[in-house]
Structures are given as structure tokens and as C-alpha cells.
Structure 1
Amino acid sequence: MRKYLLQFKPFLIFISTFFGAYILLTVLYKLYLNSFEANDVDGITNIVGHNVNQLMNLFNCDIRVLKSISDPYFEVWYNKKYTLKIVEGCNAVSVIILFVSFIIAFSGKIKTTLLFIFSGIVFIYILNIIRIALLTVLLFHFPEEEHVLHGVVFPLIIYGAVFLLWVIWVNKFSKYAK
């Protein structure tokens, strides 16, 4: 048994570090979410809604992002048509937690690791804002394609980007990079 533990030690360290970071960050995020009232939008989702509004206003779009009266989400109105809603799951925090957990599990030098984590979070956040803005426009024009756009295309883009960040990290900056 000891032989196998030694043989698989790097893998076991990676798995335990990844899941430890993932569980810790998820619990902290859940505690953060629990600090809001049931029908209140959390602060991060609030900022996401505001940033989507700002981005689309930058392109002179007819956009309104309004807090739902009775539910914890934002209604996005594009060209005076209710197009989509921004819920807590749209703020990309779960994707960011996954990204950060992986980078921590494959950490390198502390300064490089922290800089890559910060840069990756900013990149994922901006990509998510662009994703929601594009989804708004596309759903306005192609509402019948909601399942494909929201369920396949845009998750593929954001998770694909995270995967590419992981590949860059492992090959260029982690302690395993050659």
C-alpha cells in the first residue's frame, strides 16, 4: 500500500488540494449568499447586472436591466422586449471557484500564482459580462435558439476559456512546467 501511496503522491496531493480549495471557496461563497435576504439579489450579481448595462450602453443599445419586483434576479429588456434574466448563477462565481481551485492545486511561485489567479478572475469576469450581453442580443433575434445558445454555445465558450487558462498555467507557470 505504501508503494502505491508514494507512486501516486503527486496525484493525491493535487486531488486533495483541489477539493480542499474547492470546498472551502464554495462554503465561503455559500455563507456570502446566505447573508442576503431571500428575495434580494446578491452584491456580485448586482454588479454583473450593472456592468452588462454599462457595456451595452457603450454600444448605444436600447437596454434596461431592472431588479425583479418579487424575485432575486434582474430582468434584461432589450429594444423594449423582455429578453432574459440574470440570476445568481449568471455571475460566474462558480466558474471562478473552479478555476482558482485548479490553479491552487497546481500552484507555482506564490507571486506568479496570485497574479495568475487575479488575472484569470478578471478575464473570466469580463468574458462573462460579454457573454451575457451577446446572449441578450442573440436571444432577442433568435428566441427559439435559447436552449442551444444558453445551454451549449455560451457554456462551451466560458468553460473552454477556463480550460485554456488551465493549460497555459500548467505548461508555463506551475511547478510542473518545464
Structure 2
Amino acid sequence: MFKDFKPVLGILLRFIIIYLVLLFAYQFYLNGSKFSGLDSFSTMIANRVSALQNSIGYPTSLYNDIENEQVWFYVKSQYATRMVEGCNAVSVMILFVSFIFAFYKGAKTFLFVAAGLIALYMMNLLRITGLNIVMVDHKEYGKMFHDFIFPAIIYGSVIVLWLIWIKFFALKHENS
């Protein structure tokens, strides 16, 4: 009876194991920087966003609120947003990596994961930059963009990458 479900159960089990291992590794990383403010990866993202915004004419400075583990974005001399650990898209990246490796296809899996992580990193930088611009120039739309539009963009990017992986790599027959 379970013989028919064996491939699906294998994929599901691989996904769960990889997801949990990456999640626990990330939590271990976060626990290591618990009392030094925002974690270093999130701080790096904030610095990249600040540099990007400065380069496109949105003068940005950062305030590192170590006690509350957040970084504040001041854009055009006004408070725009704050960066917390959840803004770094690592949880989305963990989900992406787990799914792709669940459908492991050799070396091309590693290449696709690397390309996908770079794409998600760039999308996240653009997402945070876009949110800061919206909050400075059109604050009345800030909640809608923060809660709906920008999450749809980042999760939509993950779904598109998953679909590309499944259609062009994971389910493609080796002979074709």
C-alpha cells in the first residue's frame, strides 16, 4: 500500500528534515548574537539598503538600536521604517532551499539554489527599499504595501523559482 506513496513520502521527509536542520541552525546563529543588537546578516541587509537608497537619491542614515535588536531607517531626515530580524528574508530562503533540495537532482541543485538565493537576496533589498520609499513619499499606502504587496512579491518570487525548478529541472527526464 505504501509502495505507491514512497516517492512522495521521500520528498516530504527530505523537505521536513532539511527545513528543520536549517531552521535550528539559523536559531543557533540568532542565539549567538542575542545581546549584541540586530544580527549581523540583518545589519548587512540594512547597510545595503541604505547604500542603494543613497545611490538613487533617497539620503538614508541608520540608527542601530542595540537594546531592542533593530535598526531604524531615516530617509530624507525622517523616520521611515525599522529593520528587525524578520525583515532579512532568511526564513523565506530556508523554505526555498528546503523545497529545492527535497527534489534533489545532483550538482545542478546546488547551482540553482545559489542562483535562487542571490535572486531572493536582491528581491529583498528591493522590497525594503521600496517600502522605505513608500513610507517617505506615500505614507498613507505604507500598511498596504508592508502587509500585502511586498510580502506577495517576496513569496511570489519563491513560488516562481519553485515552479522553474520543478518544470525545467526536477521533473525533466534525463533522456530529453
TM-score normalised by the chain length of structure 1: 0.93
TM-score normalised by the chain length of structure 2: 0.94
Residue 177 of structure 1 corresponds to 172
Distance in 1, Cα, partners of 2:6 & 2:103: 14
Residue 114 of structure 1 corresponds to 110
Among 7, 11, 18, the alignment partner of 1:21 is 18
Note closer, same or farther for the CA distance 1:159–1:112 as it changes in structure 2 (3 Å cut). same
Letter aligned with residue 122 of structure 1: I
Relative to structure 2, which stretch is displaced further, 141-150 or 40-49?
A: 141-150
Is 1:62 the counterpart of 2:93? The answer is: no
Distance in 1, Cα, partners of 2:133 & 2:85: 20
> Which string of whole-angstrom CA distances, capped at 9 and with x for unpartnered residues, describes residues 62-85 of structure 1?
111221253111100111110100
Distance in 1, Cα, partners of 2:23 & 2:8: 22
The Cα shift of 1:143 comes to 2.0
Residues 37 and 65, structure 2, Cα contact 8 Å, conserved in 1: no
Among 121, 126, 136, the alignment partner of 1:125 is 121
Residues 38 and 66, structure 2, Cα contact 8 Å, conserved in 1: no
Distance in 2, Cα, partners of 1:69 & 1:103: 35
Residue 138 of structure 1 corresponds to 134
Distance in 1, Cα, partners of 2:54 & 2:136: 16
Residues 39 and 71, structure 1, Cα contact 8 Å, conserved in 2: no
The Cα shift of 1:157 comes to 0.5
The Cα shift of 1:149 comes to 0.6
Residue 78 of structure 2 corresponds to 81
What is the total number of aligned residue pairs between the two structures? 173
Note closer, same or farther for the CA distance 1:48–1:135 as it changes in structure 2 (3 Å cut). same
The Cα shift of 1:60 comes to 2.7
The Cα shift of 1:147 comes to 2.3
CA RMSD of aligned residues (A): 1.2
The Cα shift of 1:153 comes to 0.3
Letter aligned with residue 64 of structure 2: K
Instruction: For structure 1, list consecutive stretches of 5 or more residues without a partner in the other structure.
Output: none
Residues 41 and 88, structure 2, Cα contact 8 Å, conserved in 1: yes
Instruction: For structure 2, list consecutive stretches of 5 or more residues without a partner in the other structure.
Output: none
